[in-house]
A = this chain, B = another copy of it.
Amino acid sequence: MDLSVSMSYVDDEKFVLTNRSGNNLLVDMYKEDEKKHLSPMELLLSALTSCAAVEIVSMIKKRRRDFKDLKASSIGYRVEKPPRYFKSIEIKYFIYSSDLTIEEAERFISLSLDKYCSVGATIRKDTIVKHDFEIIRD
């Protein structure tokens, strides 16, 4: 199944993207203190983090484990010279569950990031994607 988006110019550092359903996304490249929206590289990091998250939640529920919440914190490290691609990405997931085991969490996150997530599979092979997690019991 193919995907499509259309883009329109708003100003030199701001664009609006629209998908087939007509949903909009604003993206800007303003400086940190002037930003209102995410930048393209932040979108890429967000896409990877959330793509795997959907699979993680789905696997926890299929395994009939308690699920209360899921959070994540992701960092992308860029090479110094342009084009400053991500040389490595670190994602830490925080899973709120009373009975999910450490082994299950590790397996679900690995499978999601390495096997099922389409965004992860579209990233260059030499970008190192590391993950970590914490299970919160209360």
Contacts and interface: CB of A to CB of B under 8 A. Distances in A.
A75 B78 CA distance: 26
Contact of A86 (B32, B84, B122): B122
Interface residues on A, range: 35 or more
A69 to B, nearest CB: 5
A7 interface: yes
Q: How many copies does the complex hold?
A: 2
A6 B72 contact: yes
Interface in A104-123: 115-123
A118 B89 CA distance: 14
Given A37-B23, A122-B85, A122-B127, A46 B17 contact: yes
Interface string A50-64: 110110011001000
16 contacts: A2-B75, A4-B76, A5-B49, A6-B73, A9-B70, A17-B46, A20-B32, A23-B35, A23-B38, A27-B47, A40-B48, A44-B47, A85-B118, A122-B124, A122-B127, A125-B125
A63 to B, nearest CB: 14
A12 to B, nearest CB: 5
A38 B17 contact: yes
A47 B72 CA distance: 21
